[in-house]
Amino acid sequence: MEKIFDYFHLSLQNFFHYLPALLGGIFCLLIAFFVSNFCSKIVSKYSLKRTKDPLIANFIGKIVWSVLLILGIVLALGILGLGTVSNKILAGAGITTFVVGFALKDIGENFLSGIILAFSRPYKVGSMIESVSVKGVVKNMTMRQTTIEADNGKIILVPNSQIIKNPLIKYSNDDNHLRQEFYINVPIGEVERAAQLVKETVCNYNAVLKSGNKTVKVIIESLNADMVKLLVIYWLDSTHFNGSKSGTRTDVMFTVFKTLKEAEIKFAG
């Protein structure tokens, strides 16, 4: 019993002896966390002002956050008296990077692709892009993936490496103008009248641009013995409507179908 008491007393003494270093290490971690968050926000705001691109600003902010937090962890280990551990961590960083990079090859590939996309900036938030049958409006980009909203309203998470490896189509649009399109098949004998009705119907929609080089276009895509496939292209002014852009496309198509039906023109999708 006396040995147990002595062991407990010795452990308690060691704990109180080590307590200042423990509190100092915890305090250092908290400071590192708040400093990394604060600096990340400052750098992101500054980068946004300089680049006018939220994708690259967010990306640079995350890199700054990661670097500062790692430095804070290494410093905290030194305060705790685990300097040799932190030195071994830094010394073994190369080997660890190789092993982790090999095991998590896809994640590393997407991360490097994200860096390339962030600095080359082939698109930005609000751009309409298409890559490997995935088409929609860019909503966000992280170190691993790009978030795209498709025309049907679905949110698609595309790995950055997929965008780097495959051809990328960027449709002409700016912050307030969004290009949309749809196909419709009409009888070959009614193609001229149908094209005129479709163009007039789309132009009558309030949010559709009607001037400049972004007017409504109805183009013959292909034809056969009986039917002609028309491609309808138009641009939306997002400042003139509220709600989903994909929902607006649906409204435009419903209005066109209704107009053709009233004109007794047969059509197919």
Residue 108 lies in a domain: no
Residue 97 lies in a domain: no
pLDDT of residue 205: 81
**What is the rounded distance in angstroms from the CA atom of residue 167 to the CA atom of residue 245?**
25
Residue 136 lies in a domain: yes
**What is the rounded distance in angstroms from the CA atom of residue 188 to the CA atom of residue 225?**
8
CATH of the domain at 187: 3.30.70.100
**Domain around 141:** 123-170
Q: Which tokens in the block code for residue 16? A: 């109180």
pLDDT of residue 196: 92
How far CA 253 is from CA of 6, 7, 134, 167, 257, in Å, comes to 84, 81, 21, 29, 6
**Contact present, 147 and 141 (Cβ < 8 Å):** yes
pLDDT of residue 7: 55
**Residue 213 — φ and ψ, nearest 5°?**
-90, 10
Q: 52 and 25: one domain?
A: yes
Q: 145 and 216: one domain?
A: no
Closest CA to 255 of 234, 229, 225: 234
How many CB atoms neighbour CB 145 within 10 A? 19
CATH of the domain at 80: 1.10.287
Q: Report the first-to-last Cα separation within the chain, whole angstroms.
A: 88
CATH of the domain at 166: 2.30.30.60
Q: 23 and 58: one domain?
A: yes
Instruction: Identify the DSSP state of 139.
Output: E
**What is the rounded distance in angstroms from the CA atom of residue 178 to the CA atom of residue 138?**
11
Ranges of residues in the chain with a pLDDT under 70 are 1-21, 51-55, 80-108, 172-177, 238-247
pLDDT of residue 18: 61
Q: 44 and 65: one domain?
A: yes
Residue 107 lies in a domain: no
Q: 198 and 158: one domain?
A: no
pLDDT of residue 116: 78
Instruction: Identify the DSSP state of 239.
Output: G
Is 127 strand, coil or helix? coil
Q: Which tokens in the block code for residue 259? A: 């107009």
pLDDT of residue 27: 81
pLDDT of residue 197: 92
**What is the rounded distance in angstroms from the CA atom of residue 112 to the CA atom of residue 127?**
22
Could you give the number of structural domains in the chain?
3
Q: 218 and 191: one domain?
A: yes
Last residue of a domain, one of 91, 113, 139: 91
Helix axes 191-203, 245-262, angle to 10 degrees: 140
Q: 216 and 162: one domain?
A: no
pLDDT of residue 185: 92
How far CA 246 is from CA of 63, 70, 87, in Å, comes to 34, 42, 54
**What are the counts of helices (DSSP H) followed by strands (DSSP E) for the chain?**
8, 8
What dihedral angle (degrees, nearest 10) is formed by the CA atoms of 211, 212, 213, 215?
A: 0
**What is the rounded distance in angstroms from the CA atom of residue 237 to the CA atom of residue 244?**
13
Q: 135 and 203: one domain?
A: no
